[in-house]
Structures are given as structure tokens and as C-alpha cells.
Amino acid sequence: MRSQLVKSNLSQPLRRSQSTAFPLVKSNLSQPFRRSQSTAFPLRNPDRLNDRDWWIRVASTAAVVAGGTIGINWLLNRETRDALSPFEREYLHSSFKYLGGGLAVAAVSAIAMHKNGVSSRLMRMNPWAVVGISAVGGIGSMLGVLYTDPANKVQKHLCYFAFQGFQALTLSPLLFLNPALLARAGLYTAGAMGGLCWIGSTAKSEQYLYMGGPLMAGLVVVALSSLAPLILPVTALGTLAFTEAISLYGGLAVFSGFTLYDTQKILNHARLIRAGQMKPDPMRESISLELDFINIFVRMVSILAGQQRRK
């Protein structure tokens, strides 16, 4: 009996120490450690960069873009450059001005739509309805820009701004993503487009115009692969992954080729205009380059977002 009392008295402090004393020690030891993670070493957060790391990343990215542009230019052009005439240079610059203005209008309009809740309503709509609205509106306004006589400036500019509005409508849901990711995608797209346009403008005359037919065939394949998620069942994971890869990476290759083709097409039109066979229309020329930019940008965003999810 006594041994049982002694045993019970000895076991009670041990149980109390397990239930009260150890958790207090554990909590006191764990609190400073948690504080040290959140305040003492903030720069160890992989999602945050100090100024030095940020500048190193920017400089390395710029070096890769510059080196890639120089290397591609040497590989594709080499000794085949043709000097541009003043008229060709001025016509190309005018097309680039409309390109920059159109992209700025589309970006500002997309931000305004997103702030007003348009992108949220688009996300709740039927995907086929969104595709139909953007396709009909975008193609209709684009045809208005392409086939309106340059002398009819009011109608042509109205169609031009309507086209930018439909592009903004299509791009506004992207603003749900991280702004830093969108900025990186925009930087990469601008660098790629700038390098490709420079290569196309300094290459030999009509060197890349032969690419029109193959690029159009590739565009059809990319368009069909982009529509696959709306047609195929969710259970076809392997097929969906394959079509997504074609849409992303195949689309990058196709629209990069279109950038070369469209740049040389502008220069070819400039020579025809100088010969009196065409009317000057830099607004029309900018539409094809703008579509190249938007398609490359969307694919850059998708690729960077996928990399971010896998980390």
C-alpha cells in the first residue's frame, strides 16, 4: 500500500512537468527563433532581393539579351546587310511610333478595365463567349484599320482605338497576376521584339519574306492547340500538356518569325510606296507588329507563371 502511494506521488510531478513545464520552455525557446526568422534575417527570404542582387539580375538579363541579339544578328545577317534609304527608315520609324502608341493605349485601357471590375466579370463568363466577343470585335476592328483609306483619318483612327480596346479587354484578366511577373514578361518581350526588328531591318532585302507561308501554317497549328483546353476533356492530361507546350513554345517561335517577316514586309511596302504602287499607311503596318508583341507577351507571362508555380 505504501509502495503504491510512493509510486503515485513520484509519478505526479513527472506528469505535471510534462504537461506544464516543458511546454513553457518549448514556447520560450521557439518564440525567439520565430522572431529571428521574421525580423533578424529579412534578406534571407528568397522572394525579396536587396539592391545589389536586383542590379545584378538586371545587368545579367541585359547582357544575355544584348549578347543574344548580337549573336543572332551575326548568324542570320553576316555579310548580307542592305543600307536603308532615308524614306525606308522614316516609314519604319512611323510604323514603330504607331506600335508604341497602340501598346500604350491598350495597356492603360486594360488597367482601367481591371480597376472597374471588367476582368472579374470576364473570368465568370463562359470561355466560348469571351473568345467570340474578343475574336469578332478584334478581327472586325482590325479589318477596319487595314481596309480604311488613309485619307479617311477619322474612321481609321476610330477603328484603331476600337482595336486597342478589344486588345485591352483580352489582356485585362492578366492583371490578376503578380505585377513583378508582368513587368519581367514585358521586359523580355520588348527585348526580344527590339532585337528581332533590328535584325529584320538590317538584313538583306526580302531575305525573310519567304517565311510567310510556313509561318501561316505554324500559326494554324498554334491556334488549334490554344483551343484544345476548351474542347478536350479535363481527364486527357497528357494531350493537354502536349498542346499547351505547342501553344507556348511553338507560339513563341512562330510569332518571333512573324516579327522578322513583318519588319521586312514594312520595308518592302516602303519601296513600293516610293515607286508609286502603294499609299503610305504606317498605322496599318503597326497592327501586325502589335499582334506579334501581344502574342509573345502572353506566352512569356504563361511561361514565367508556370516557373513560379513549380518553385
Lowest mean pLDDT among 45-54, 167-176, 188-197, 268-277: 45-54
What percentage of the chain has pLDDT greater than the value 90?
Answer: 47
Q: What does the pLDDT read at residue 44?
A: 39
Q: What does the pLDDT read at residue 163?
A: 96
Binned at pLDDT 50, 70 and 90, residue 110 comes out as very high
Q: What does the pLDDT read at residue 280?
A: 94
Residues 6 or more apart whose CB falls under 8 angstroms from that of 252 comprise: 296, 299, 300
DSSP 85: P
Give the span between the Cα atoms of 176 and 119, in whole angstroms.
9
Mean per-residue pLDDT of the chain: 79
pTM: 0.73
Residues 6 or more apart whose CB falls under 8 angstroms from that of 91 comprise: 266, 267, 269, 270, 273, 280, 282, 285
How many C-beta neighbours within 10 Å does residue 221 have? Answer: 15
Q: What does the pLDDT read at residue 242?
A: 82
pLDDT higher than threshold 70 for residue 74: no
DSSP-based helix, strand, coil % in the chain, nearest 5: 85, 0, 15
pLDDT higher than threshold 60 for residue 56: yes
pLDDT higher than threshold 60 for residue 39: no
Lowest mean pLDDT among 21-30, 75-84, 240-249, 278-287: 21-30
Show me where the domains of the chain are located.
Answer: 81-310
pLDDT higher than threshold 50 for residue 288: yes
- Residue with more model confidence, 264 or 2: 264
Q: What does the pLDDT read at residue 260?
A: 93
Q: What does the pLDDT read at residue 155?
A: 95
Q: Which of 7-16, 119-128, 264-273 is predicted most confidently?
A: 264-273
Binned at pLDDT 50, 70 and 90, residue 46 comes out as very low
Q: What does the pLDDT read at residue 132?
A: 81
Give the span between the Cα atoms of 310 and 65, in whole angstroms.
24
φ/ψ of residue 204, rounded to 5: -65, 145
All three cell numbers of 37, joined, read 526568422
**Span 267-281, average pLDDT:** 93
Q: What does the pLDDT read at residue 131?
A: 76
pLDDT higher than threshold 80 for residue 122: yes
φ/ψ of residue 116, rounded to 5: -90, 5
Lowest mean pLDDT among 82-91, 140-149, 266-275: 82-91
How many C-beta neighbours within 10 Å does residue 311 have? Answer: 6
pLDDT higher than threshold 80 for residue 42: no
Q: Which residue in this structure is represented by grid cell 491556334? A: 223
pLDDT higher than threshold 70 for residue 169: yes
Q: What does the pLDDT read at residue 64?
A: 66
